[in-house]
């Protein structure tokens, strides 16, 4: 942190470091110079010696604190050696600070990894901060008066700030009604911001001024008209490189395995890489399972386990301890979360810790890029219709309907087709008029027209114009919150989670591909399925059904109605400055026993009520 005219309160700053001891149980450090303080907790992954201690001093000029991993640090170290640099450690930390010394702010364009770091340049009197391209690692900050505070978690900033904690009413309303979280630089706490993925921030110490600069934008990637076969080959090559880089560690590495295509691809590719290396490596997977077959994917989990001979670990999360763990999970999350699937993810990482795994590979980012969500069908149908490519539309529609007969998906086919027709042929002005008249599609929820209007006014209403833009929309609105949950759940258990599908080279290659390489003959993620031929078991590769990472949330609510009603009433009381409690409870009572899959509203309200309690959040007038 930096204080313009005052010294840092060292006692409080030391507390700020230790409040997130779970993020770095292996070492701690602090650096103080006049009105500047830098602190760090270390989770040792690469070079477990004390040489990785931070804050890291370099050339008597730079002091750096850094969270994350630079996966290509070995290659970068060799490049720097050719430029005359010498290294005293085997850490990626030293490589990162040397890259900054060599390239300045342009260093981030050479990095392949996940990071949030800050470099204090004593000569230039600046603090340069950066967050990785997609925001895998967190970076929060608050500039209040003469103070600039930055941290990995919001609770650290709240500790250092003076006065009461207030909600950001607009963002909280968007979360409650729309389910949106983390898609802007604002948080649910007033005055606390996040440095968005792909951005740098420079604090000029003399003036106290901050400058923001975007250094990465996936949308600038150009389309590539390579053949489908070439695209499949590129996917396989880049995916293999991505997984191989993320296996680099001096601690045990495991895998989150849901049984879906994405996590299965990671496990199978990692097994292939390790098998060809000739090394004897014990491999472990951790999976969330349920006794109810409607939510369970053990059939596919077991297929991957048999195919790779990994050691499986299965957890069975239950609603019985949901509310016992809730406040603890919210405290780690800093913000409320959208569904109980985050509760199941919490238990996956807890099991990983119990089985002595320090690094876990997970499949976040594939659905958003490879058209894994049902909504992509509407977009591609509209895309073909708008261009009168009726043969392609008819063929894809035929395969879509054919595949749905063996799919467990719960989105009605007629809704997908209707959305495509509306998107393709209805003028945007009429579309927006009807959306406004129909409450933007949220009219069935227990909120007034005024609240719904207020919630959507701050959100860009997405206009379906191309599948590429739709993919970016998902990267903006869903990916950021999923990465938030991923980071907090893993780090709460002192585990580093790595996401191979968000390797920037792989992401750029996928984004450059035509949409019909991603949805082909009614199958999503076609380029991945065909690109990993021989790596994935056929049962996984040809799988049509998709559950997603889910829990029986609606079943838990319907079967434990009184308990959830009591929780909902308590939450409504805490949120009475935001919502009409009577209206919400009546809506819940009217839907007793009939909450449908995918309706996360009751949970969002309950979770937000607990969040208000945990962080003692207040509402201004």
Same domain for 322 and 379? yes
Same domain for 266 and 152? no
Domain end position, chosen among 216, 231, 255 = 216
CATH number of residue 456's parent domain: 3.40.50.620
**pLDDT computed for residue 443 by the predictor:** 67
CB atoms within 10 A of CB 180: 22
The 10s digit of each residue's pLDDT in 60-70 is 999 999 999 99
129 token code pair? 């901060």
CA angle 39, 44, 45 (to 5 degrees): 130
CATH number of residue 144's parent domain: 3.60.20.10
The 10s digit of each residue's pLDDT in 248-268 is 999 999 999 999 999 999 999
| pLDDT of 466 strictly over 80 | no
Cα 227 to Cα 139, 224, 230, 231: the distances in Å are: 40, 9, 5, 6
Task: Residue 165: name the closest of 146, 140, 191 by CA.
Answer: 191
Domain end position, chosen among 182, 201, 216 = 216
Mean confidence (pLDDT) of the chain: 92
The pLDDT-based confidence of 155 (bands split at 50, 70, 90) is: very high
How far does CA 517 lie from the centroid of its chain? 25
Strands 284-288 and 311-315: what pairing? parallel
**pLDDT computed for residue 432 by the predictor:** 66
Question: What pTM was computed for the model?
Answer: 0.94
The 10s digit of each residue's pLDDT in 568-594 is 999 999 999 899 999 999 999 998 988
Same domain for 272 and 209? no
The 10s digit of each residue's pLDDT in 3-46 is 877 788 999 999 999 999 999 999 999 999 989 999 999 999 99
Task: Residue 259: name the closest of 219, 321, 217, 312 by CA.
Answer: 312
The answer as to whether 506 is a domain residue is yes
Find out whether 614 and 327 touch, Cβ atoms under 8 Å: yes
Helix (H) or strand (E) holding 77: helix 73-82
Same domain for 156 and 275? no
**pLDDT computed for residue 426 by the predictor:** 75
Same domain for 234 and 201? no
Find out whether 164 and 170 touch, Cβ atoms under 8 Å: no
Lowest mean pLDDT among 75-89, 419-433, 447-461, 551-565: 419-433
Same domain for 520 and 381? yes
Q: What share of the chain is helix, strand, coil (3-state, %, to 5)?
A: 50, 15, 35
Helix (H) or strand (E) holding 519: none
Residue with tokens 């119990």: 354
| pLDDT of 282 strictly over 70 | yes
Residue with tokens 């489908």: 228
The 10s digit of each residue's pLDDT in 374-395 is 888 888 888 888 888 889 888 8
The pLDDT-based confidence of 470 (bands split at 50, 70, 90) is: confident
| Residue 475 burial class via C-beta count within 10 angstroms: exposed 0-12, middle 13-18, buried 19 and up | buried
Same domain for 140 and 227? no
Average pLDDT over residues 505-511: 97
Same domain for 548 and 469? yes
Strands 27-33 and 36-42: what pairing? antiparallel
CB atoms within 10 A of CB 164: 10
Same domain for 262 and 199? no
Higher-pLDDT residue of 466 and 112 is 112
Residue-number span of the structural domain to which 112 is assigned: 2-166+192-216
Same domain for 383 and 402? yes
**pLDDT computed for residue 608 by the predictor:** 97
Task: Count up the domains in the chain and report the number.
Answer: 2
The 10s digit of each residue's pLDDT in 167-188 is 999 999 999 999 999 999 999 9
Average pLDDT over residues 330-334: 98
Residue 387 to residue 467: CA distance in whole angstroms: 13
**pLDDT computed for residue 32 by the predictor:** 95
| Residue 209 burial class via C-beta count within 10 angstroms: exposed 0-12, middle 13-18, buried 19 and up | exposed
Find out whether 508 and 487 touch, Cβ atoms under 8 Å: no
Helix (H) or strand (E) holding 231: helix 228-246
Find out whether 167 and 619 touch, Cβ atoms under 8 Å: yes
Find out whether 55 and 30 touch, Cβ atoms under 8 Å: yes
| pLDDT of 313 strictly over 90 | yes
For residue 595, the 8-state DSSP code is: P
How far does CA 190 lie from the centroid of its chain? 22
Task: Residue 134: name the closest of 104, 160, 113 by CA.
Answer: 113
| pLDDT of 463 strictly over 70 | no
The answer as to whether 181 is a domain residue is no
The answer as to whether 177 is a domain residue is no
Same domain for 580 and 515? yes
The answer as to whether 178 is a domain residue is no
SS3 598: coil
The answer as to whether 103 is a domain residue is yes
Task: Residue 152: name the closest of 478, 486, 491 by CA.
Answer: 491
Domain end position, chosen among 182, 200, 216 = 216
The pLDDT-based confidence of 410 (bands split at 50, 70, 90) is: low
The pLDDT-based confidence of 621 (bands split at 50, 70, 90) is: low
Cα 293 to Cα 67, 289, 319, 408, 593: the distances in Å are: 39, 9, 16, 11, 20
Q: Which residues pair with 119 in a beta bridge?
A: 64, 128
The answer as to whether 172 is a domain residue is no
Find out whether 38 and 150 touch, Cβ atoms under 8 Å: no
**pLDDT computed for residue 536 by the predictor:** 97
SS3 415: helix
| pLDDT of 364 strictly over 70 | yes
Helix (H) or strand (E) holding 192: none
Same domain for 587 and 548? yes
Average pLDDT over residues 201-210: 92
The answer as to whether 175 is a domain residue is no
The answer as to whether 501 is a domain residue is yes
């Amino acid at each position: 942190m930096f204080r313009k005219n005052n010294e840092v309160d060292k006692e409080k700053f030391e507390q700020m470091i230790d409040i997130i001891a779970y993020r770095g149980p292996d070492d701690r450090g602090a650096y103080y110079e006049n009105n500047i303080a830098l602190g760090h907790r270390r989770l040792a992954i690469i070079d477990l010696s004390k040489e990785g201690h931070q804050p890291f001093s370099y050339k008597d000029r730079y002091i750096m604190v850094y969270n994350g991993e630079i996966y290509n640090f070995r290659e970068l170290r060799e490049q720097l050696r050719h430029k005359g640099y010498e290294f005293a450690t085997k850490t990626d930390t030293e490589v990162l600070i040397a890259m900054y010394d060599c390239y300045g702010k342009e260093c981030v364009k050479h990095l392949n990894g996940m990071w949030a770091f800050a470099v204090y340049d004593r000569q230039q009197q600046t603090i340069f901060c950066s967050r990785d391209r997609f925001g895998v690692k967190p970076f929060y900050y608050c500039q209040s008066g003469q103070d600039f505070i930055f941290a990995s978690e919001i609770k650290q900033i709240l500790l250092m700030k003076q006065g009461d904690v207030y909600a950001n009413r607009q963002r909280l309303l968007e979360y409650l009604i729309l389910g949106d979280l983390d898609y802007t630089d604002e948080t649910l706490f007033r005055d606390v911001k996040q440095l968005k993925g792909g951005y740098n921030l420079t604090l000029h110490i003399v003036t106290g001024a901050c400058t923001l600069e975007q250094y990465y934008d996936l949308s600038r990637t150009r389309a590539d008209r390579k053949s489908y076969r070439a695209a499949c080959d590129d996917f396989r090559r880049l995916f293999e490189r991505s997984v191989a880089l993320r296996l680099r560690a001096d601690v045990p590495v495991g895998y989150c395995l849901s049984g879906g295509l994405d996590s299965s691809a990671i496990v199978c590719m990692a097994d292939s890489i390790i098998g060809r290396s000739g090394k004897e490596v014990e491999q472990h997977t951790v999976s969330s399972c349920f006794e109810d077959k409607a939510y369970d994917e053990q059939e596919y989990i077991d297929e991957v386990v048999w195919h790779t001979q990994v050691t499986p670990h299965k957890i069975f999360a239950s609603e019985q301890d949901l509310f016992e763990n809730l406040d603890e999970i919210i405290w780690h999350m800093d913000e409320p979360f959208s569904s109980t699937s985050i509760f199941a993810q919490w238990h996956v990482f807890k099991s990983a810790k119990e089985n002595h795994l320090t690094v876990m590979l997970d499949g976040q980012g594939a659905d958003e890029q490879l058209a894994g969500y049902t909504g992509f069908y509407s977009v591609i149908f509209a895309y073909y219709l708008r261009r009168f490519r009726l043969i392609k539309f008819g063929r894809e529609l035929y395969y879509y309907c054919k595949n749905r007969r063996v799919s467990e998906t719960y989105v009605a086919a007629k809704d997908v087709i209707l959305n495509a027709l509306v998107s393709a042929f209805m003028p945007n002005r009429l579309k927006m008029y009807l959306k406004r008249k129909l409450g933007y599609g949220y009219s069935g929820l227990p909120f007034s027209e005024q609240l719904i209007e207020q919630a959507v006014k701050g959100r860009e209403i997405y206009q379906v114009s191309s599948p590429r833009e739709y993919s970016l929309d998902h990267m903006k609105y869903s990916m950021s919150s999923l990465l938030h949950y991923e980071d907090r759940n893993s780090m709460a258990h002192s585990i580093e989670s790595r996401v191979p599908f968000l390797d920037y080279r792989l992401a750029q290659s996928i984004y450059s591909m035509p949409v019909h390489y991603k949805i082909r003959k009614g199958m999503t993620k076609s380029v991945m399925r065909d690109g990993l031929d021989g790596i994935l078991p056929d049962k996984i590769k040809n799988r049509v059904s998709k559950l997603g990472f889910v829990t029986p949330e609606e079943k838990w609510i319907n079967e434990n109605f009184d308990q959830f009603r009591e929780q909902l009433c308590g939450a409504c009381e805490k949120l009475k400055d935001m919502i009409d409690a009577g209206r919400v409870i009546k809506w819940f009572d009217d839907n007793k026993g009939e909450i449908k899959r995918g309706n996360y509203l009751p949970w969002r309200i309950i979770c937000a009520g607990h969040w208000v309690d945990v962080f003692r959040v207040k509402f201004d007038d």
